[in-house]
Amino acid sequence: MTGTFTVVGIGPGDPELITIKAARLIEAADVVAFHAGVSKQSHARRIAADLIPSGAVEEELRYPVTTGTTDHPGGYVGAMADFYESCAARLAVHLDAGLDVVLLAEGDPLFYGSSMYLHDRFADVYETSVVPGVPAFAAATAAISTPLVRQTDVLTVLPGTLPEPELAMRLAGTDAAIIMKLGRTFPVVRRALEAAGRLDGAMYVERASQPEERWLPVADVDPSSVPYFSLIVVPGDTARGSDATRLRTASSVEVRADSSLVEARAERASKPLLVVGLGPGPSRWLTPEVTAALADVDHVVGYGPYVDRVPQRPGLTRHASGNTVEVDRARLALSLASAGERVAVVSGGDAGVFGMAAAVFEAAADFPEVPVEVLPGVSAVQAVAARAGAPIGADFAVVSLSDRLKPWTVVEQRLRAIAEADLVLAIYNPASRSRTSQVAQAQDVLLEHRKPDTVVVVGRDVGRAEESLTVTTLAELDPATIDMKCLLIVGASSTRVTGAGQVWTPRWVE
C-alpha cells in the first residue's frame, strides 16, 4: 500500500483563513512538505505552523533559484525542472513507504502555485487530491473593501511578467483585473496601467491578510519598495468612470435620424470617422498614414484580433467584438464619432476589400453628419501575390466563398463567369469550421472550364511566423488542407511558373 499525496491550499497568510478541511488534513499528515525561498524561511510553514503534528516528518523544498541567475546548463527552466524532479523523488520515498504526504501551498494550489508541478508528476502514480485555498487576490479585494466585479463584468488575471504592450492591451480590454507577480516588474506594470487608462482607481495591496498588510493607490507606490508578496486590484467600477468609457462596453446603439438629432450631432462632430486597413499581419506592412491616424484617435473599434494589433497608449479606448456583428460595430463607431470622439474602425488587410468599410457605409445613412474617410492598407491578395511572384500581373477577379451574406448559387454563378472569362481568380474566405465543402465545390465548378494543370497558389498566414506558400495545380489541390487562414490564387490559362518556382501572369493576351 502506498501513501496518499494531498496538496493543501492554506490561504494568503492569515492562519485563520485556512479551511477546516485543510486544517484537518495537515493535523493528520505523516509527512508535511513545504517550499522555501533560496535564503528565506518557508512562508507556507509559518502560516500552518500550529497545525503541523509534532511527530510529522517535515520536508523543506528549497528553491535553487527564484529571480536571480543560475549557472545551470539549462538556465532557469532547466534548474527548476531538475528541482521538481528531486522534490518528487524525495516525497516518493515516503509515499512508497505508505506514508500520507501533505504539501502546503500558499493561496490556492492551482492558482500560480508551485505545487501543481509535483501534483502533475504524482497524479498518475499515487492517489492524489487537491484542497482549494483562499487566493491572495480574494484577501486583497477584502482588504480594500471594494467590489471587484459586478453583474456581467469580465475579470482578467494577469502576471506582471507579461510584456508591457500586451499588459496594456489586456488591461484596456477588460472590466476588472488582478495583476500578480510584481516585485521588480512593478514599473512596467504601472506604465501599462497608465497606457491603458486604468491607473486611476487601481489599488496596490501588499502582504494581504498578514500582519504587515498595507494598501494604497498604485500611483502613490514607491517602486523600490514592492515585494513579491504584492498584487494590484483594478476594480470593474473603474472601467465606467466617464461617459466616453461607458460607451466602450455598449453592445448596440439605438439610432434615430430625425432632423433635431442630426443637427445636434453635426455641432459636435468635427472629425471624420476613419476606416483603416492594418495589412495582413506584420507591423512593417502598416502604412505610415494608418500609423499616424491610429496615434491620433481616442477609440479603436473592430474585430477582436484586429483591435489587439493596435498598440495601447494613454487615452485610447478599445472596443473589440466578434466576427459577425459588422454593422453593429459600425453603428457603435459612428455613434462615438457623432459625439465628437476621434474614432478609427480597423480591418485586417485593406478595409475596402471584404472589410469594414462597406459595413460603415451601410450604417452611415443614419449618421449623415459624420464624414467617413477610408485609409488604404495592404490587402491579403497583394501580399500572397507578391510572395508568389506576379500572378495578378494581368486582369484578375476577387471572390469570397463565404455564403453568409449571399447564397451559394450566386457564388457558383460568379465562379463560372470568371472561369469562362479566363481571369486570374483570388479566393477569400475559402473555408471555416462550419463551411468545409465549398472549396471542393468551387474546384469542381472551375474544372468545368479550366484545364487540370491550371496553376494554383495557396498562401497561408502570409506575413506571420507560420507563413507558408504552396504552388500546385487545380486538379491536385487538396480541399482538406484549406482553412480560413488561406488565400487562394487560381491562375488563368496564360499563368506560368518559372524554373525557380515563381508564378506570374503575362500582361498581354495572345
Confidence band, pLDDT 50/70/90 cuts, at residue 182:
very high
Going by C-beta distance under 8 Å and a sequence separation of 6 or more, which residues neighbour residue 52? Answer: 26, 29, 32, 45, 58
The answer on 374 and 260 residing in a single domain is yes
Per the domain annotation, does 125 fall within a domain? Answer: yes
pLDDT over 50 at 422, yes or no = yes
Q: In percent, how much of the chain has pLDDT > 90? A: 72
**Phi, psi (deg, nearest 5) at residue 426:** -105, 130
DSSP character at residue 279 = B
Per the domain annotation, does 251 fall within a domain? Answer: no
Q: Are 409 and 400 in contact (CB under 8 A)?
A: no
The answer on 423 and 397 residing in a single domain is yes
Please tell me the predicted confidence (pLDDT) of residue 248.
39
Mean pLDDT, residues 277-292 taken together: 91
Mean confidence (pLDDT) of the chain: 90
CATH number of the domain residue 189 falls in: 3.30.950.10
The answer on 493 and 434 residing in a single domain is yes
Instruction: Count CB-CB contacts under 10 A for residue 99.
Output: 17
pLDDT over 90 at 494, yes or no = yes
Going by C-beta distance under 8 Å and a sequence separation of 6 or more, which residues neighbour residue 265? Answer: 338, 339, 367, 369, 370
Please tell me the predicted confidence (pLDDT) of residue 241.
54
**Which of residues 134, 151, 185 is at a domain's end?**
134
Confidence band, pLDDT 50/70/90 cuts, at residue 290:
very high
| Interatomic CA distance for residues 382 and 392, integer angstroms | 8
The answer on 152 and 127 residing in a single domain is no
Most confident residue range from 36-50, 231-245, 261-275: 36-50
The answer on 297 and 234 residing in a single domain is no
Please tell me the predicted confidence (pLDDT) of residue 270.
59
The answer on 404 and 344 residing in a single domain is no
Per the domain annotation, does 62 fall within a domain? Answer: yes
Mean pLDDT, residues 339-344 taken together: 93
pLDDT over 90 at 425, yes or no = yes
The answer on 113 and 16 residing in a single domain is yes
The boundaries of the domain holding residue 417 are 381-504
Confidence band, pLDDT 50/70/90 cuts, at residue 287:
very high
Q: Which set of grid coordinates corresponds to residue 344?
A: 478609427
Per the domain annotation, does 445 fall within a domain? Answer: yes
Please tell me the predicted confidence (pLDDT) of residue 229.
85
pLDDT over 80 at 250, yes or no = no
The answer on 409 and 366 residing in a single domain is no
CA distances from 63 to 43, 46, 58, 83 (A): 13, 17, 16, 7
The answer on 13 and 90 residing in a single domain is yes
Confidence band, pLDDT 50/70/90 cuts, at residue 263:
low
Please tell me the predicted confidence (pLDDT) of residue 434.
77
Q: What is the pTM of this model?
A: 0.64
Confidence band, pLDDT 50/70/90 cuts, at residue 267:
low
The tens digit of pLDDT for each residue in 207-247 reads 999 999 999 999 999 998 898 889 999 999 887 654 334 33
Per the domain annotation, does 65 fall within a domain? Answer: yes
Per the domain annotation, does 247 fall within a domain? Answer: no
Instruction: Count CB-CB contacts under 10 A for residue 508.
Output: 6
Please tell me the predicted confidence (pLDDT) of residue 68.
64
Per the domain annotation, does 246 fall within a domain? Answer: no
Structurally, the chain folds into a number of domains equal to 4
The answer on 281 and 235 residing in a single domain is no
3-state secondary structure 296-312: CCCEEEEEHHHHCCCCC
Confidence band, pLDDT 50/70/90 cuts, at residue 255:
very low
Please tell me the predicted confidence (pLDDT) of residue 313.
85
**Which of residues 241, 276, 302 is at a domain's end?**
241
Mean pLDDT, residues 422-437 taken together: 90
Mean pLDDT, residues 86-109 taken together: 96
Please tell me the predicted confidence (pLDDT) of residue 254.
38
Task: Tell me which of 268-277, 278-287, 350-359 is least confident.
Answer: 268-277
**Which of residues 109, 134, 159 is at a domain's end?**
134
Please tell me the predicted confidence (pLDDT) of residue 76.
83
CATH number of the domain residue 304 falls in: 3.40.1010.10
- Where helices occur in 278-372 by DSSP H, the ranges are 288-294, 304-307, 326-338, 356-363
The answer on 146 and 121 residing in a single domain is no
Return the higher-pLDDT residue of 170 and 454: 454
Which of 491, 497, 413, 488 is CA-nearest to residue 452? 491
The answer on 300 and 185 residing in a single domain is no
The tens digit of pLDDT for each residue in 293-315 reads 999 999 999 998 899 889 888 88
Per the domain annotation, does 159 fall within a domain? Answer: yes
